[in-house]
Amino acid sequence: MNIIILIFFGLVLAVFQTVHPPLYLPFICCYDLLIPYMIFCAFFRPLGQSLVAALVLGGMMDSLSGGPFGAYMSTYFWIFAAAVGLPRILKVNRVLVWCLACAGGVLAQEILFGGLFWASAQAGPDFLDMGHGMSRGVLGAAVSGWFIIWALCKACGRWDGWKKRSRPLGEPLPAKGME
């Protein structure tokens, strides 16, 4: 059940990023919102559940993007793998670590996608435009990525709290006065 909830949160972010956020959120428009989500999953959710969510969401984004298949999946996997190893070095409950992890994840995705574009382009790519877009994405992730991770921590905390308070399926209701 938790895997389904993780995939659902990722789908909500994927839909949100496709409905023209440049019109109302200029910092968020320039990077993939699922990168802070992958970092959140790596930091705060169980490894097996979040790895499945990362691979499913990567496959979904590959099928929706129209680009080379496996680009998003491999990017999400390597960002996830790097973020899983980060808590062994640093405390992950610090906002600065969240900002740096989001900026590093966006930088890794931009480098990978820039390399794919450069390898497939007929003419040489404009490195100035690529650098401008890359710096804008990294800055946007550093500024707003921590907020996405914070909001996801709060939402999953509420979900976990609600799940602990609810009774398991099939368990009888407590007797009157015994609550």
Q: Per the structure block, which two tokens stand in for 157?
A: 């905390």
- Contact yes or no for 135/27 (Cβ under 8 A): no
Q: Per the structure block, which two tokens stand in for 93?
A: 């409950």
**CA dist list (Å): 18 to 6, 12, 21, 133:** 19, 10, 7, 18
Block means of pLDDT (10 residues each) for the chain, length 179 residues? Answer: 83 80 62 89 89 91 83 90 85 81 90 78 66 80 87 82 66 55
Rounded Cα distance, 152 and 33, in Å: 12
Task: Give domain limits for the chain.
Answer: 24-162
Query: In the prediction, which pLDDT does 6 show?
Result: 86
